[in-house]
């Protein structure tokens, strides 16, 4: 049973009834779910979790859904935490790990947030969901909406990876392709939402996607036997996962399950072609300025201005963290290196964190003796168009040393 008590604005602190559907605060600030953690700790323990379901609902007392019948699951969460021994040896990083969320349903970490948000929408009696997305959130919402029997209305950039478009159509979603960025998709969606009766499921425009994403933090603590890593590198577009993990660490401290005051350094990784958070961090600003011409092959990082930028920058400062950017070429090179050394085919977003980790270890910004976790947020197989620039097919009759097109006689 959930211990959810209310919703709280992250800007002005206003409180709202969690039993009623709600998007943003009246002041425009994102809302956050709050729980009675004292009550949660009375009937819930770390030992109980060992016997819980093998999905995000193993943390049900600190998730917002009360009715078991509304807890929709496709097997999301409890993803592998893999020691990167070969890469660690090469870089001199003796405690290097990768949390692989590419094995989630629909191939990305978005399954966590949308499983929770769609489940809560079902419980609240919402029937029509709408979402602007750069790709992976769209396919995740379409899948969970299908499983819950709800309508899904998706707005995606026209150049979205084909896998995301095809998934959404296969799940029965109503898909609109927009000639523009995710911000343009949001505008087109907003123009029709009220008339159509859609509930806005955009990043940070509803309170519950972050609750699903915070399970990444709970899982890290559980998989490391209730200790936390020294640093986490996270690919940051909208940044829901980074905010969610920080919220999880706060709740874990309040529950008494981890040592207080020893949270990880949070490192936000962005693309050189779209780096609003990096630029704001370097300037010492409290909010970002929108990227004028955002471009990157990592579609999840092409977010011109994160809605919760003030929260992300606050977390980076509080954790003693960093914000860094890598080029598209560095992403592809790092993704290839990870695949060849460790057998993991990561999304470009996750590969960006591999590239950043190597640089930060080599230049001394990260302690090579510390426990470092790289977050891979998606499966490389969903980004074949991006990786095809790294490995173009050979279409003539010439065969090189690495193999090519062979015409049988």
Query: Are 189 and 153 a contacting pair, CB within 8 Å?
Result: yes
The 10 Å Cβ neighbour count of residue 149 is 9
24-29 long-range contacts, CB within 8 A, separation 24+: 24/205
Q: Reduced to 3 states, what is the DSSP secondary structure of residue 306?
A: coil
What is the pLDDT, as a whole number, of residue 237? 95
Dihedral angle computed from the Cα positions of residues 293, 323, 56 and 85, in that order, rounded to the nearest 10 degrees: 120
What is the pLDDT, as a whole number, of residue 397? 44
- Weakly modelled stretches of the chain, pLDDT under 50: 396-400, 402
Q: Which residues are 151's β-sheet partners?
A: 128
CA nearest neighbour of 169 among 156, 178, 183, 179: 156
What is the pLDDT, as a whole number, of residue 396? 45
What is the pLDDT, as a whole number, of residue 382? 93
Q: Reduced to 3 states, what is the DSSP secondary structure of residue 311?
A: helix
What domains does the chain contain, in order, with CATH numbers?
81-107+209-388 (3.40.50.1100)
* CA distance readout (Å), 72 to 11, 77, 105, 302: 31, 13, 12, 29
What is the pLDDT, as a whole number, of residue 231? 98
DSSP secondary structure code for residue 199 in this structure: E
Share of the chain residues as helix, strand and coil, in percent rounded to the nearest 5: 45, 15, 40
HEC states along 187-241?
Answer: HHHHHHHHHHCCEECCCCCCCCHHHHHCHHHHHHHHHCCCCCCCEEEEECCCCHH
Q: What token pair was written down for 34?
A: 């709050």
């Amino acid at each position: 049973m959930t211990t959810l008590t209310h919703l709280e604005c992250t800007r002005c602190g206003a409180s709202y009834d969690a039993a009623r559907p709600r998007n943003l605060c009246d002041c425009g600030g994102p809302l956050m779910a709050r729980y009675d953690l004292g009550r949660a700790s009375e009937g819930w323990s770390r030992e109980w979790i060992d016997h819980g379901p093998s999905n995000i609902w193993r943390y049900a007392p600190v998730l917002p859904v009360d009715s078991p019948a509304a807890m929709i699951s496709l097997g999301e969460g409890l993803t592998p935490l893999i020691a990167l021994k070969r890469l660690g040896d090469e870089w001199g990083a003796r405690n290097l790990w990768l949390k692989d969320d590419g094995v989630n349903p629909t191939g990305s970490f978005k399954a966590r947030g949308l499983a929770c948000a769609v489940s809560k929408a079902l419980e609240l009696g919402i029937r029509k969901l709408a979402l602007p997305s750069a790709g992976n959130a769209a396919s995740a919402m379409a899948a969970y909406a299908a499983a819950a029997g709800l309508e899904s209305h998706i707005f995606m950039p026209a150049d979205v990876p084909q896998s995301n478009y095809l998934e959404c159509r296969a799940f029965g979603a109503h898909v609109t392709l927009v000639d523009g960025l995710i911000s343009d998709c949001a505008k087109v969606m907003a123009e029709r939402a009220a008339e159509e009766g859609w509930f806005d499921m955009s990043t940070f425009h509803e309170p519950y996607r972050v609750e699903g994403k915070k399970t990444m933090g709970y899982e890290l603590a559980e998989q490391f036997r209730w200790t936390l890593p020294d640093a986490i590198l996270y690919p940051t577009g909208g940044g829901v996962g980074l905010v969610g993990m920080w919220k999880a660490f706060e709740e874990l401290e309040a529950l008494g399950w981890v040592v207080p005051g020893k949270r990880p350094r949070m490192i936000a990784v962005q693309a050189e072609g779209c780096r609003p958070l990096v630029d704001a961090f370097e300037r010492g600003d409290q909010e970002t300025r929108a990227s004028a011409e955002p471009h990157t092959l990592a579609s999840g990082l092409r977010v011109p201005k994160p809605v919760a930028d003030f929260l992300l920058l606050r977390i980076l400062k509080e954790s003693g963290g960093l914000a860094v950017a890598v080029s598209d070429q560095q992403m592809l090179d790092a993704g290839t290196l990870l695949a060849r050394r460790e057998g993991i085919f990561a999304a470009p977003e996750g590969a960006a964190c591999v590239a950043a980790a190597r640089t930060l270890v080599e230049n001394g910004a990260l302690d090579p003796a510390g426990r470092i976790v790289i977050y891979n947020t998606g499966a490389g197989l969903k980004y074949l168009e991006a990786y095809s620039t790294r490995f173009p097919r050979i279409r003539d009759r010439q065969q090189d040393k690495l193999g090519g097109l062979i015409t049988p006689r």
